[in-house]
Structure 1
Amino acid sequence: MSRHIACLSFDFDTWSGFVARGMSTPTPVSRGEFGVIGAGRILDLLGSRGIKSSWYVPGVVIKTYPAAVERVVKEGHEIGHHGWSHVPPAWLPADREAEEFERAVETIRELTGKGPVGYRSPSWDISDRTIDLVLKHGCRYDSSMMGHDCSPYFARRGDKVAADAPMEFGPLTDLVEIPISWSLDDHPHFEFIRSKDEVLPGLSNANAVLENWIADFEYMRRTTEWGMLAYTFHPYVIGRGHRMLILEKLIDELTRMGAVFLTLDEVQQEFRARSAA
């Protein structure tokens, strides 16, 4: 029997991603703070559809907006590790990466009473040490890499990559990788960012993006017996009015197409069971 899964995941970053890139003046901070408003709208929508989702929250955000994050927990959604700050692990020295990772684990434990099952790196850029840290702290899955579009797989560690030599693959681990894609992420489609060095235009037509998101699910339905897609949203992005409308349309259309909505934790459990069968 075919089974096609949609994971709705939310990176609840608020201002942390802007500040990690040096954008700490009042306007970008306020732009991120809108995420608290957006989160409330999203939770209302998910509640009306009876859908559970996965939320990845930096430790600094948990500590800054405890009531907003507590609502996520109270309404039955998964809380995943998303760093202490939103600085990408690949930018951090080893000791600071380890310190921030552990600090975020303890913050989630204080919030939920248990450590996180899943990890998603800030900006989807892990270091060559990150997989070891994820395993050390008991996480069962990662959601930071892009080696497939609609199937989890077991992550490797210790690959050796050089521009002038064939790649040497490292060993497989017991960590399930739940793949993501920038094309299934709201941020690059919608967010206008202007800095001293670059301009990211964003501001795409929302209905055109919705067509892409639905088409990826349709392709998965046609080509796989069992598959999953991880959609990634940011409350300060998707929480704007016209984008909330396409999120609602996405949920309703995927439902019509027979989607099963699961958290990423539920997906990794199902994938492990299938792999062991």
Structure 2
Amino acid sequence: MPMARHIVCLSYDFDVQSGFISRGLTSPTPLSRGEFGVVGSKRILSLLAAHSIPSTWFVPGFTIETYPEACESVVKGGHEIGHHSWAHIAPASQTLEEEEADMVRASEAIVRLTGTRAVGYRSPAWDLSDNTLNLLLKYGFEYDSSMMGGDYVPYPVRQGDQVKLGEPVRFGPPTSLIEMPISWHLDDHPHFEYWRLPTTVNPGLQSARVVMDSWLDEFRYFKKTTDFGILTYTMHPYVLGRGNRMLAFEGFVESLIKEGAEFMTMQEALKAGRGLIY
């Protein structure tokens, strides 16, 4: 029986304006909301450095080429850089050729930034296409963090599931790609960001302390029910980086430390779990 370990991965989607542009929101005010991510990134990096916490940043190629100094600061802080497309376009809306070209372009930007290729991938808007898995395997990725088939236990991604209305799912075989599962309720965006689109409104703007209490309860349940596992939180610098949220987040991090959380990059956590939970 392995020693009890409760690994926490703090992950950041460093989208800046890319998510707004991909949705056609290119007037000055929505673009400025994304631009605030550079301000937020400095606050987050400072907090992580103060507690010597490693983390993973999923960075679109757009961000790397638009804000190279901000991205270099992430690398200098010792944090992992993960793949998050180039233009933050949902893969399910792309052709195979478009998705592959975007993936390759983003990979090249990451190599220029870090000197190495990314081993982890997170799809924009957590929306994989029918082609994404094959592309990730083709280009040698080791893990994905876009799906929700688990919470504390990463698992091998299957290939070739057959889904047809009126019939049971026919599951395909597992692959070498490991899923590091995520969840919308452990993502800051739906809790905090006010969105008004032609067909939908996300009210957001919840109390930061209420959300952080909920996130802390998730860790406590994780600790109570598992001997070994990995829990991933997802955040966006332009969302989390606002003052009151940073204050609540700092308290959350300090509580995780007191509760015995072991912080790792997602690449480190992937290695820690091999042979134990997958």
TM tier relative to shorter chain: over 0.9
* Aligned with 2:112 (options 87, 104, 110): 110
Match of 1:248 in 2: 250
Q: Please identify runs of 4+ aligned residues in structure 1 that moved more than 6 A.
A: none
Partner of 2:222, secondary structure, is helix
TM-score between both structures, scaled by the size of structure 1: 0.98
Contact 2:213 2:252 in 1 (8 A): no
Matched positions, count: 276
Identity value in percent: 53
- CA distance in 2 between counterparts of 1:24 and 1:275 reads 44
Q: Any idea what the Cα deviations from partners look like across 1:12-48, whole Å, max 9, x if unmatched?
A: 0001111111111111000000000000000000000
- CA distance in 1 between counterparts of 2:165 and 2:17 reads 36
**What does residue range 86-235 of structure 1 map to in structure 2 within 5 Å?**
86-235=88-237
Contact 2:119 2:140 in 1 (8 A): yes
- CA distance in 1 between counterparts of 2:23 and 2:214 reads 29
- CA distance in 1 between counterparts of 2:7 and 2:273 reads 11
- CA distance in 2 between counterparts of 1:139 and 1:46 reads 26
Match of 1:274 in 2: 276
**Cα deviation, residue 143, structure 1:** 0.4
Any unmatched runs of 5+ in structure 1? none
TM-score between both structures, scaled by the size of structure 2: 0.97
Q: Which amino acid aligns with 2:141?
A: C
Contact 1:89 1:97 in 2 (8 A): yes
Q: Which amino acid aligns with 1:205?
A: S
Contact 1:128 1:157 in 2 (8 A): no
Partner of 2:81, secondary structure, is strand
**Cα deviation, residue 162, structure 1:** 2.1
**Cα deviation, residue 273, structure 1:** 3.6
- Give RMSD over aligned pairs: 1.0
- CA distance in 1 between counterparts of 2:185 and 2:102 reads 28
Contact 2:80 2:265 in 1 (8 A): yes
- CA distance in 2 between counterparts of 1:249 and 1:156 reads 38
- CA distance in 1 between counterparts of 2:277 and 2:212 reads 32
- CA distance in 2 between counterparts of 1:272 and 1:110 reads 29
In the superposition, relative to structure 1, how do residues 26 and 255 fare at CA in structure 2: closer, same or farther (>3 Å)?
same
Contact 2:16 2:37 in 1 (8 A): yes
Partner of 2:89, secondary structure, is coil
**Cα deviation, residue 275, structure 1:** 4.8
- CA distance in 1 between counterparts of 2:277 and 2:123 reads 25
* Aligned with 2:80 (options 78, 97, 109): 78
Any unmatched runs of 5+ in structure 2? none
